[in-house]
Amino acid sequence: MKKKHIKLFVILSVMLSLTLSCERAYLEPWPPDGAREPQDVWNYYDFTRGFLDKIYADNLMAPRINDLSGSGMLASVTDEAMHSLQSARVNRIINGAWSPSNSVNVFFSGNFEGEWRIPWENAYLAIRRANIFLENVDNSVLIDDISNPARRYDRTFFKAQAYFLRAYFQFDLMRRYGCFPITTHSLTPDDDLYKPRNTMEECFHQIIEDCDKAIEGLPLLWDDKEFYRPNKTTAQALKSRATLYYASPLYQGDFESFGLAKGETGEVERWKEAVKAARVTINGNPYYELISVTRFTPPYSSTGTYCQRVMQLRGAAQVEIIWGSQSYARHDEMYNMPTGLQGCYGYTNPTQDFVDMFEVVKNFGKSNATAEKFDWSNPNHAANPYNNRDPRFYASITYNGLRWGLSSSRRFTIDTYEGGVHRDRLDPKSTKTGYYYRKGLSENYYGHTTALRGSLMRRLRPEYRVAEMVLNYAEAMNEAYGPEESEPGGEPLRLGNVTNALQAVNLVRARVKMPPIPSGLTKDQMREVIKHERAIELCFEGHRFYDLRRWKEGEKLGGPVHGIRIEATGFDSNNRPTGFTYTVEKVDDRVWHDKMYWWPIPHDEIVKYEGKLKQNPQW
């Protein structure tokens, strides 16, 4: 029986070595520098597979989360967080310095030995590789070998992967740059190399066409040794996300005017298609679930907690993450754990604006539990701002007073009050907001020395997971049918027998024992609830940057950003604080212009295309 594993981007080094096939005769001459002619690739089994595997190794999302220039997270240029170093190159996106000739690079790699590239370049490099593979695989040694159970569907499965990868990088172009020049064959000097951009509709339909081909050919699950490859559900998840984006205001209407106005539904049929795509993803594979959470107390990396179950659990037990990258490393801890810990940089600082989004819960876990917005004008909230918050707060944010560590003998307290060891205003890397990033980090890490850092940390960086698919369904259902209406003739979700938007949101909240959203909301009210739930559930996973753009809420990415100033009111005999006061303070001012709804196409590309490639609006 096949076992599902996380479909990881990490390619085992043995797969990348592209060793020679055993079909080659002993001591047969071979070019010392590898394949020189096409037949040298396509006539050998390992080389043919390796050609496609090179995309996994070179072009996909890196396992580490700090993958933007300056070792920044994408969250650092949203209202989720800020980068502690003002000089970090990633800050170009929010300080007004971003431009076609002054862009931000991304670290692309299926492992930690990747390359910094502009996303436009990386996507077309991967698309070209996929095109070359598709043009040659039918005449290669890679066949559906019915005599060999291990290779029975080799050609079918590998062609489907190529279609998925091409769709994946086409979508990466669409979400960053909008419409793009479609290329479905490998270009040669004899081709017209200066193609204009296709329409948004043409780009979307090309992505869906490739997704459908991938869905048709990919297996429902892979065996153990192929754990990193996308399966049928992965392609369905990509289709769900692409369909949701295409229905969103930024992607409808006039491209030059940045789509529809905020809050406009646009073509309802697009939202109905997004409903279907999300439902098919959820219902199509019984293996995947919203993984259960059974523990809500520290340490938050312990067995059963949200952090451990959703972000760290691996193997057959990980039934939520459909596809993601796995690493055994310490980069995420080293880059994001507080300064004051030996060797740590503390780069990602959640903002007070984002921290305030986590609700306050009364009577947590009880039938009469209620949730309310955090409010600094509420004296109970202001006196103890980190008490009784949504459990996902404790899994996502490192805050003053957090007890860190799996080992009781090595456990310590995070001190970000003024004068605390983890906040030094003279240290350029120390937190600017009073908080540090927490989500997914291992509490077996105590500092970056051999004696403190423990074993290599295991973690997952999700690309697609079930919670996103449920929230995709909720958003599309609300826009297409309303908060509590069911789709006419539509089957319920396999999870929770859900049939409407409200039930879908409450399904996600119930996993962490958050009180349900009450009935009776209007469509506009429900829209805000869904946006809030996406912000909390999917925080720091790369969604917020694109969600605010596709919703036409870019103004939230500009203006003042806030942090917290915490001062101790007294100390005990052990020199530990006995109380605190909290003052919200402005820590940054950000720039937003509507042109930033889309990434600027690199200036070199505009010049290279001799005027046939049009730059994005207002850039």
In terms of domains, do 215 and 261 share one?
A: yes
Query: Does a structural domain hold residue 487?
Result: no
Backbone CA torsion sign across 363, 368, 371, 372:
negative
In a domain, 477, yes or no: no
Q: Identify which of 52, 88, 86 has the alpha carbon closest to the alpha carbon of residue 67.
A: 88
Q: How does pLDDT run across 419-437, given as a tens digit for each residue?
A: 999 999 999 999 999 999 9
- Asked whether residue 51 falls in the same domain as residue 157, the answer is yes
Percent of the chain with pLDDT over 90: 79
- Shortest CA distance to 278 belongs to which of 230, 247, 240? 240
Residues 192 and 248 in one domain: yes
Q: What is the pLDDT of residues 553-591, one digit of tens each?
A: 999 999 999 999 999 999 999 999 999 999 999 999 999
Q: Are residues 364 and 239 in the same domain?
A: no
* Residue at 271 is within a domain: yes
The answer to whether residues 229 and 7 touch, using CB atoms and an 8 Å cutoff, is yes
Whether residue 434 sits in one domain with residue 336: yes
Count: domains in the chain: 2
The Cα–Cα gap between 398 and 339 comes to: 12
pLDDT above 70 for 455? no
CATH of the domain at 49: 1.25.40.390
* Domain range for 180: 13-294
Instruction: Report the chain's mean pLDDT, rounded to a whole number.
Output: 91
Each residue's pLDDT tens digit, 253-309: 999 999 999 888 899 999 999 999 999 999 999 999 999 999 999 999 999 999 999
How many CA atoms, within 13 angstroms, populate the side-chain half-sphere of residue 81?
30
Do 319 and 285 reside in the same domain of the chain? Answer: no
534 close to 510: Cβ distance less than 8 angstroms: no
Same domain for 99 and 238, yes or no, is: yes
Q: What is the pLDDT of residue 450?
A: 62
- Residue 26 pLDDT > 50, yes or no? no
Residue 452 pLDDT > 80, yes or no? no
Contact (Cβ atoms closer than 8 angstroms) between residue 464 and residue 241: yes
**In a shared domain, residues 246 and 392:** no
Among 163, 105, 96, which Cα is nearest to 135's? Answer: 163
Section 192-204 average pLDDT: 93
Cα distances from 584 to residues 240, 417, 433, 552, 578, in angstroms, run: 39, 13, 9, 27, 20
**Is residue 545 in a domain?**
no
- Domain-embedded: residue 583: no
Name the domain boundary from 253, 268, 294. Answer: 294
Q: Are residues 118 and 265 in the same domain?
A: yes
Domain boundary among 462, 492, 517: 462
How sure is the predictor about 11, in pLDDT bands with cuts at 50, 70 and 90? very low
Q: Does the residue 436 lie in any domain? A: yes
The per-residue pLDDT for 263 is: 83
For residue 24, how many other CB atoms are within 10 A of its CB? Answer: 12
Residues 268 and 381 in one domain: no
- Give residue 449's pLDDT: 65
Assess contact for 145 and 169: CB atoms under 8 A: no
The pLDDT value recorded for residue 224 is 74
Domain boundary among 294, 318, 341: 294
* Residue 614 forms part of a structural domain: no
- 516: in domain: no
Identify whether residues 419 and 272 lie together within a single domain.
no
Statement to judge: residues 116 and 89 lie in one domain: yes
pLDDT reading at 7 higher than 80:
no
Check residue 446 and give its pLDDT: 84
The answer, yes or no, to whether residue 460 has pLDDT greater than 60, is yes
Answering whether pTM is above 0.75, one says yes
pLDDT tens figures, 342-390: 889 999 999 999 999 999 999 999 999 999 999 999 999 999 999 999 9
Q: Poorest-confidence range of 3-7, 89-93, 132-136, 241-245?
A: 3-7
Q: How confident is the model at residue 457 (pLDDT cuts 50, 70, 90)?
A: low
pLDDT of the residue at 20: 37
Helix (H, G, I), strand (E, B) or coil at 67: coil
- Exposed, middle or buried by CB within 10 Å (0-12, 13-18, 19+), for 14? exposed
